[in-house]
Structure 1
């Protein structure tokens, strides 16, 4: 596989994220809860590099189109929406390189785990000092993407709710917190997202053995 960044450089961004991952199928009540915001949809398969393990790094092929490398920069603390959700905030730096489908072998190479995703996405940004449900019209403005995603891997079904704030580094935490308060102004049906469910895709996958091979 050969990465082909434009002019020898990769797209790069810094984000603040929080994610919860739950077992089983996504229930209609949860999908309806999220649908009160304008959403877009996307389906794709990502492949995550699990072997060799690279502490502090997450490496994946995104939808067969980009190699993404994320470096973990620690946690500034816990997101807490009183009585509604608690999750670990995670700071990441990401680089993205376009890849050609011709460079990729068919099937899943040894050490990589394919993950199918059916995503519902809502975009939030600051307007007049308040978070509103619409994408920012300007680059580098404070914004937060929220996704509700059905996940399938190794014959099992899961679903996840994730927040990703981007923009000026000094506004990442306040932007994510304001978005979370808006999204959780109604409780998530049947669930109260907590610290036990709060983890990145990479952490979740490395903690779960592949039932088809027995390898983690």
Structure 2
């Protein structure tokens, strides 16, 4: 099982241009490097914001919320809800299982198109962080991502932090990275009411669509 501490926000519409520019400039993203594009398929489970199930590139992934830490603030314009999640991943080397085609006609499975910019930071022993510039294996990292989403033909965008590593460092990793990255943030205010994980967001979007 993989354990993470996370912060995430969801907002309707396309990513504001000032947020894209901020992310590219301050998270050291190369504007000439294309973002990751993929399509994931999620199981929408009504009234279950503590569990997420999805098919991703031939794998079945299950996430389970293990704890809620309440609202954390970063300056005057950013507040979000920190959570602890556990993730299990299962793949089939034969390629016969966990295929999108097997759930294509089931109403509770929802396709989500994603265009994602990602940057990773290493959490250091002196409670600072530095950008990771290669794919070397590092114990304590925090991924920062900004993602354009399309669900049921509706555009949304998300900003997220996901800290991974040793259990005793996860919360410090998350908070120190978010403090560093968000210190230059000047986009629209990020509020706790819009801070939640994918299961809650899926439940909300699927509910208003019915």
State the TM-score, normalized to the length of structure 2. 0.86
Aligned partner of 1:43 in structure 2 is 37
Please list the CA deviations of residues 158-198 of structure 1 after superposition, one character each: whole Å capped at 9, or x if unmatched: 10000000101111111111111111111232x11111110
Q: What residue ranges of structure 1 are gaps of 5+ in the alignment?
A: 1-11
- The whole-number CA distance in structure 2 between the counterparts of 1:143 and 1:188 is 24
Alignment counterpart, residue 89 of structure 1, candidates 69, 82, 86: 82
Alpha-carbon separation, structure 1, partners of 2:50 and 2:166: 23
Confirm or deny: 8 A CA contact 1:122 1:145 kept in the other structure: yes
Change (3 A) 1:210 1:128: closer
RMSD value over aligned CA atoms?
2.2
Asked if structure 2 preserves the Cα contact closer than 8 Å seen for 1:47 and 1:114, the reply is yes
Displacement of 1:55 in angstroms is 6.1
Instruction: Give the 3-state SS of the residue equivalent to 2:111 in structure 1.
Output: strand
| Equivalent residues in 2 for 1:167-186, closer than 5 Å | 167-186=165-184
The 1:52/1:89 distance shift into structure 2, 3 A limit, reads closer
Task: From the superposition, tell whether residues 211 and 76 of structure 1 become closer, same or farther in structure 2 (CA, over 3 Å).
Answer: closer
Aligned residue number for residue 8 of structure 1: none
* 1:53 to 1:187, Cα distance in 2 relative to 1, 3 A: closer
How many matched pairs? 199
Which residue matches 1:34?
23
Q: Which residue of 2 aligns with 1:20?
A: 9
* Alpha-carbon distance, 1:74 to partner: 1.7
- 1:201 matched residue in structure 2: 198
Larger RCO (CA under 8 A, 6+ residues apart):
2
TM-aligned CA deviation for residue 201 of structure 1: 1.2
Q: 2:51 aligns with which of 25, 47, 57?
A: 57
Structure 1 contact 52–111 (Cα < 8 Å) conserved? no
- For 1:109 and 1:194, the matched residues in 2 are separated by 34
Q: What SS is found at the alignment partner of 1:182?
A: helix
User: Under a length normalisation based on structure 1, what TM-score does the superposition of the two structures give?
Assistant: 0.83
Structure 2, unmatched stretches of 5+, are none
Whether the 8 Å contact between 2:49 and 2:197 is mirrored in structure 1 is no
Out of 48-57 and 31-40, give the one that drifted further: 48-57
**Contact residue 108 and residue 114 of structure 1 kept, 8 A:** no
